[in-house]
Structure 1
Amino acid sequence: MDSDWAGLPQHLLDSVVDRLVAQLDFARFSIVCMSWHSVAKHNQSHRAKLLGRDQPPMLMISTDQEGTWNLCNLMDEKVLDLQLNFLNKRFCGSSKGWVIIGEENFAITLLDPLSRTKGKEEKENSIIRLPPLISPPDDEGGALKFFTKHYEYYVKKATLTADPILNANECLVVVIFGYFSNMAFLRLSKDTTWTYLDKEVKGICEVVCIENKFYVVDHWSRIFTFDITTQSYSDIKCVAEGFQSETKMICMSRSKSKFSN
């Protein structure tokens, strides 16, 4: 007798969804049949919380065709021939399954890479355009002239705290930018402009969010922490001074709420 996979009880299918680690497996689950798709759709908000955890990475691999990339699934050790198109774009970050791009006018764009597959229609909400960052200063140092010509280097790193579609209310876009590696953030569902950290906090090389707190490491190995409030951000506190020895390195972990040398 044939198995009725489409007729499995919802609680069993919910249990299967809870055990899907990779986002690609969740996508495969959702297209098996109509009943499975319905369960996947019902679990989208729960899935958004799971995306807050570390996900198995997928690597983008350039092809022989300019501006075209394939994805490498590390769990299956397979290259997916999807032919993603990002012509003349420089990535300044990737997070929660989205690619983050710095634009010519110093604006930030979020792209769902799977929506850029050759031969497929672009999905709704697959591109999110954010406002421009503050322009570089027009001073004798020539920062404005340099970054106007080389705008792709203005944003050094960028990250997201949540999926911008499935969990927009919890999503903050955080960027490290400019000549002095300052930091700015934007609350996706609330803000129309960027909020900038104090200019004295500069030389930032890494930032992570752990249990609703932000931790920042600068070039001198100092660690600062602050909270995002409803209006702006809390006072920035230095919680660890830098090391004298250049051979020491601070590692920041997203999965554990602690630091290690």
Structure 2
Amino acid sequence: MDSDWTEIPTHILELILEKIEPAIDFIRFGAVCREWRCAMKDNLQQRIKTLHNRYRYFQVPMLLTSTTEDDNTWNMYNVMNNKFLETKLVVPYDKRFCGSSKGWVVTVNKDWTVTLYKPFSMVQYGNNNADTCVIQLPPLFPMEYEEGVEPYDPLEDFPNDYDIYIDPENVYYFHVYKALITHDPLANPDECIVVVIFSDMNELAFIRLSHDGGPQTWIKIEPKFFSEDILFYNDLFYAVMGDGSLRSFDLRCSSVNSTIRELAHAIPWITNSGKRYLVESYGHIIMVERFIGFEQVKIKGRKTKSFKVWRYCFDSNTWIQIESLGQMSFFVGDNSSLSILASSFTGLQPNCIYFTHDVDGLYGSSRPPIISDLGLYNLENGEFKLHFTIESDLLKKMNNRPPVWLVPTL
């Protein structure tokens, strides 16, 4: 006589769940039947509450990569054991993901509409609710080009120049530089706000989701300021500018512009090329500076040279450089930057910055970039471990669809 898995007592399921750590095992557990999925969700919520509130994510992010010939199939790379998962994720999108936040990826379509996908909830383990894991948003301030104008690639005339240039054929999926989601759109739609950095001027815009399905409209934040990254912390939004200065604003107010506050002053770059990220850790606002060097222009190679880390001091409104992350690990890239307690996960390296190849001025031109700038950086000794254990032939398959960190959430 066959066993009825649905009849296993809840307390037994809870004992099993307490032994599970990797996210993929949660997915497999929840795919058995409805009863097991409900037990899995309850257990996951309890773990999030019992784990220190300052650690926003229970699971370590995985690297969402395109290493197959199927345009809609994505692989997941686990940095804790340096292996690809057997399970494939199917996301009906074959371009660059312009953001990853709260377990969702953000895309821009040819008609300038924005789509949110929740890949781990779309995994095909008998889950038939894939449609509920896709959210369509209205057009995001479309860019306009004159008809009949031939696309111009300045690299043809100036092969040694790194001018920022995006091919008009591809401009729509580079329209959003980065995206942030405040709350899960399915679990907390009335509290969910999507904020994006968009356009070639790195402007800010946001949209509120609603449970009742009311009209949704993107709203620009004025005045414009060139933003590198955004962070949601203690009900306020923070944006770091291209010069390293920090600003805050409150989207709960009807007049958002009146809430903009200038906080930390600028930090000049010591080189001409770099990126800045914001991450909340231990209740602190942290800025990560990434210094990048470019190799041959024709192959568009790039390499991260070093990192610096700064903590914002609320009392003095200044950045203070820090030399150690302690037991924390940071994950930076096109995703919402993350801070994870390394001691909670076997194989995760403390005091390290895990980074991936994200958008830069060379993306989107008529020649595809070479994806090579990913790995981990040890803040204590300044050593790099590049590419993890991903082989070069697999890296080449990622050229048109750069990898992005994704938190496994269901």
Q: Report the TM-score when normalising by structure 2.
A: 0.52
2:231 to 208, 212, 232: 208
Give the counterpart of 2:141 among 134, 140, 150: 134
Question: What does residue 92 of structure 1 align with?
Answer: 98
Higher relative contact order (CA 8 A, sep 6+): 2
Using the TM superposition, give the Cα deviation of residue 100 of structure 1 relative to its aligned residue in structure 2, in angstroms.
0.6
Do the aligned partners of residues 212 and 40 (structure 1) sit closer, same or farther apart at CA in structure 2, a change above 3 Å counting?
Answer: same
2:298 — aligned with what? none
User: Which residue of structure 2 lines up, in the alignment, with residue 198 of structure 1?
Assistant: 222
Q: Which moved more, 1:55-64 or 1:90-99?
A: 55-64
- Equivalent position of 2:281 in the other structure: 255
Larger deviation, residues 191-200 vs 78-87: 78-87
Instruction: Compute the displacement of 1:30 (Å).
Output: 2.6
Judging changes above 3 Å, is the alpha-carbon distance between structure 1 residues 20 and 182 closer, same or farther for their aligned structure 2 residues?
A: farther
Deviations 1:69-110 (A, max 9, x none): 211233344312315344432210111211110111222100
Query: Structure 2: 5+ residue runs without aligned partners?
Result: 153-165, 287-310, 312-320, 322-410
Q: State the distance in 2 between where 1:84 and 1:129 align.
A: 17
- Amino acid across the alignment from 1:227: D
**CA distance in structure 1 between the aligned counterparts of 2:174 and 2:275, rounded to whole angstroms:** 25
The one of 174, 177, 185 aligned to 1:153? 174
**Greater alpha carbon shift after TM alignment, 57-66 vs 36-45:** 36-45
**Structure 1 residues 138 and 237, CA, compared in 2 at 3 Å: closer, same or farther?**
farther
Other structure's SS at 1:65 match = coil
SS in 2 for 1:254: strand
Equivalent residue runs for 1:1-261 within 5 Å = 6-9=8-11, 13=14, 23-31=23-31, 35-42=35-42, 53-54=56-57, 55-67=59-71, 68-81=73-86, 82=88, 84-114=90-120, 115=122, 123-136=130-143, 149=169, 150-189=171-210, 192-201=216-225, 203-233=226-256, 234-244=258-268, 246=270, 252-258=278-284, 259=286, 260=311, 261=321
CA deviations on 1:22-60 (whole Å, 9 max, x unpaired) are 543433343456654342355676688789813311112
The superposition leaves residues 202-248 of structure 1 with CA deviations (integer Å, 9 ceiling, x where unpaired) of x1110011111111001111100011215352510001110245369
Shift of 1:177: 0.4
Distance 1:23 1:226, change over 3 A: farther
Alpha carbons 1:136, 1:147 under 8 Å: kept: no
Task: Check the 8 A contact 1:44/1:166 in 2, yes or no.
Answer: no
| Amino acid paired to 1:104 | K
Contact 2:181 2:192 in 1 (8 A): yes
d(CA) in 1 for partners of 2:215 and 2:18?
A: 33
How many angstroms apart in 2 are the aligned matches of 1:34 and 1:110?
25
Give 1:132's aligned amino acid.
P
Helix, strand or coil at the partner of 1:104: coil
Structure 1: gaps spanning 5 or more residues: none
Q: Specify the SS of the correspondent of 1:125.
A: helix
* Residue pair 1:102, 1:151 contacting (<8 A) in 2 also: yes
| Greater Cα shift, 28-37 or 129-138 | 28-37
SS at structure 1 position matched to 2:280: coil
The answer to whether the 8 Å contact 2:64/2:74 transfers is yes
Could you tell me how far apart the structure 2 residues matched to 1:196 and 1:24 are? Answer: 38
CA 6–232 in structure 1, closer or farther in 2 if over 3 Å, else same: farther
- Aligned counterparts of 1:180 and 1:221: Cα–Cα separation in 2: 16
TM-score (norm: length of structure 1): 0.77
Query: What is the root-mean-square deviation of aligned Cα atoms in Å?
Result: 3.8
Using the aligned pairs only, state the percent identity.
Answer: 32
Q: Which amino acid aligns with 2:184?
A: D
In 1, Cα distance between equivalents of 2:262 and 2:253: 22
Offset of residue 158 of structure 1: 1.1
Distance 2:37 2:126 in 1: 23
What is the number of equivalent residue pairs in this alignment?
A: 251
